[in-house]
Structure 1
Amino acid sequence: MTAEGMPEVNADFGAYPTVEFTGDAPNGLRVAELVEGDGPLVRKGDTITVNYHGLVWGSDSPFDSSFDRHQPASFAIGVGQVIKGWDQSLPGHNVGSRLVVSIPPQYGYGTRGMPQAGIGGEDTLVFVVDIISTR
């Protein structure tokens, strides 16, 4: 499934993400809901559990993926525990949703990037996120 300006991503909640890039990264923080879940709404301050798959825009292989580890991640959202792009894009979506999020450097790891993960200071990040639970 494709949202305008976003990569092509399989829209099957829980399935291993496939991501195909075409063109340049969009400007600004962008989120597209590929699957709308029917579970509880995620709110700032909630502790959420997600599966995620993170790539640098245009890359073939992820720099981090809870799908690869077969181990979802849990954290508080909207309170600074994760990158700004996640804090700003995940609240307001329901459990059971699959999102694709395009995160420019200022909402990711900034101008320093994260060299140990292969992320440069100019890189746009793309995450496929399945929201598993919230509390």
Structure 2
Amino acid sequence: MFFFRGDLSALQARPQFVLLVDELVDAGQGIVVSCHGSSVPADRADTTSSAGTTWRNIGRTVTPVATKPEIDFPDGPAPSELVIEDLVVGDGAEAVPGGTVNVHYVGVEYETGEEFDSSWNRGESIEFPLRGLIQGWQDGIPGMKVGGRRKLVIPPAQAYGPAGSGHRLSGKTLIFVIDLLAAR
């Protein structure tokens, strides 16, 4: 038996599976889920295994919160200020300045649309303290809630500095689409 407390998105890596729940309790700060074994394929729900375990499907299909986003490119010149756009407003814990976040993200260059980084391509989210990131993330993520998706358009001054600053992305305006999976 295992117990899970918190945002169910952490259990959503296998969308073809059904979470077989013995107990589902609203614990105020999320959901406590008590399950026997693990998840099983949806076509095996409400069956008995060879070991005698009965899988009871209460209809809670685990589906991904998000997939890798497609980025719509704006027309016109790049902005000189940070642009924050909530694409999906989350309803979980809120990211705070200097806090630690777990995110999935994709980053592209504003002018060319070339993707330069993506946690989605690596197949796993990443966790880090905001204080160690570029200023656009430090300013653009606080206030975001778990379960949300936010687009940040970050000018060079809040990214990697002016052209010639020594980073391959210096002098470039960047677009990030960020899915907030956890915040503390």
- Normalising by structure 2, we get a TM-score of 0.60
1:31-50 CA deviation, whole Å, 9 max, x = no partner? 10010000011112321100
- How far did residue 122 of structure 1 move? 2.5
Corresponding residue of 1:132:
181
Structure 1 consecutive aligned stretches of length 4 or more whose deviation exceeds 2 Å: 58-61
- How far did residue 13 of structure 1 move? 5.0
Q: Is the 8 A contact 1:44 1:91 kept in 2?
A: yes
Q: What's the % identity of the aligned pairs?
A: 36
Q: Is the 8 A contact 1:13 1:97 kept in 2?
A: no
The one of 85, 88, 101 aligned to 2:136 = 85
1:33-91 CA deviation, whole Å, 9 max, x = no partner? 010000011112321100010011033331010011112111112x2x00000001100
Secondary structure of 1:42 counterpart: coil
The one of 87, 90, 96 aligned to 1:34 = 87
Q: C-alpha distance in 1, partners of 2:149/2:91?
A: 11
| 1:73 is the counterpart of 2:145 | no
Secondary structure of 1:20 counterpart: coil
| 1:20 is the counterpart of 2:72 | yes
Secondary structure of 1:24 counterpart: coil
1:33 aligned partner, one-letter code: D
Q: How many residue pairs align between the two structures?
A: 118
The one of 154, 162, 171 aligned to 1:122 = 171
Corresponding residue of 2:109:
56
Q: C-alpha distance in 1, partners of 2:96/2:72?
A: 30
Q: How big is the alpha-carbon RMSD for the aligned residues of Structure 1 and Structure 2?
A: 1.6
2:146 aligned partner, one-letter code: V
The one of 156, 172, 178 aligned to 1:105 = 156
- Normalising by structure 1, we get a TM-score of 0.80
1:34 aligned partner, one-letter code: L
Residues 66 and 75 of structure 1: is their aligned pair in 2 closer, same or farther, counting only changes over 3 Å?
Answer: same
Secondary structure of 2:68 counterpart: coil
Q: Is the 8 A contact 1:13 1:98 kept in 2?
A: no
1:26 aligned partner, one-letter code: P
2:183 aligned partner, one-letter code: T
Corresponding residue of 1:3:
none
Gaps of 5+ in 1: 1-11
Corresponding residue of 1:96:
147
